[in-house]
Amino acid sequence: MVSILTRTTFQHWIKNHDSFIFDCDGVLWNSGKRLPGIKKLLNLLNKEKKQTFYLTNNSTKHFKQFRSEFEKYDFPFLGKQQLLTPTTLLSPLIDTLPNFDRTKDKIFAVGEQPFFDTMKEFGLNLVTAEDHGNPIDLFFGKKVKLDEKVKIAIIGWDRHFSWSKSALLSLYLYNRPDVTFLATNPDASFPFGKLQFPGTGSLVRMVEHATGRKAKIIGKPEVTPFEIIQRVLEKKGLVVDKKRVCMIGDRIDTDLKFAENVGISSCCVGTGISNIEDLEKTDIKIDYWVDNFGEFF
């Protein structure tokens, strides 16, 4: 049963949680505008000594760009340990893969420049579509020389995604069980104002359909991000009580599903993808609903 946050229950919601995990697009901002009440909410949580984290499936921005966004909207200071993106989560995930050697193996990556830059900062060896010559030569695999050192093929959001990039991904994945197939996130779309545009998940499905391979997801709704959050809190000497952690998101199938998978409480906010009518169409557990946080300030 979903509880609608009111002015009274809002205060209890704050009091009953120690840690809050925020999605970014559609929760903190939308179409380049700060969303109602968010600045005051973050300042209140900061004043109450609550732990805040920002968990986004957006792989198109470097940490410095996210910090600039926080400065632009006059949000509290963003520390590196507070922000988790598919790119920052990729490095610890790779360390768990038995068939990948950082010193010699490579990653074939499709995405945008900040995605590549962050991976390079982690010391990962990248190969991109541009390293494979003229896209026209990819037709039916003509003149294509694949890099034998590639052991991971990964898709991130790419506004310039093309047939040739999907073909390269497919060539690396066909008959190559030693190549791990990763995707930053499964979001089918993302919001911009009241519009929705195709997201990374739409690109992933194309390659999955072509190759018969299923991508391993790095970001939400997978539980890996929470394991990292737990380690951060434990290093601070804080005991993690899942009942006192809440995920705030706008997307049911990623943000709220993540909360359900982890076993923490969840709050769906109607400033992005989902609306209140969507709550009746899902079996995913959702604890709270709020139209927008501006109602409480």
Residue 121 lies in a domain: yes
CATH number at residue 208: 3.40.50.1000
Global pTM? Answer: 0.87
Rounded-to-integer distance, Cα 35 and Cα 294, Å: 8
What's the rounded mean pLDDT across residues 8-33? 95
32 Cβ contact list (under 8 Å, min separation 6): none
Compute the chain's Rg from CA coordinates.
20
Could you tell me if 243 and 289 lie in one domain?
A: yes
Rounded-to-integer distance, Cα 111 and Cα 233, Å: 31
Give the per-residue pLDDT at 1. Answer: 82
Could you tell me if 161 and 238 lie in one domain?
A: no
Of 195, 217, 239, which one is at a domain's C-terminal end? 217
Any idea which residue has 């760009």 for tokens? Answer: 65
169, 129 contact by CB (below 8 A) = no
Helix (H) or strand (E) holding 90: helix 86-94
Give the per-residue pLDDT at 245. Answer: 97
Structure token pair of residue 234: 């434990």
| Cβ neighbours around 154 below 10 Å, total | 27
Q: By C-alpha distance, which of 200, 110, 211 is closest to 152?
A: 110
Could you tell me if 28 and 137 lie in one domain?
A: no
* Per-residue model confidence as pLDDT tens digits over 47-80: 999 999 999 999 889 999 999 999 999 999 999 9
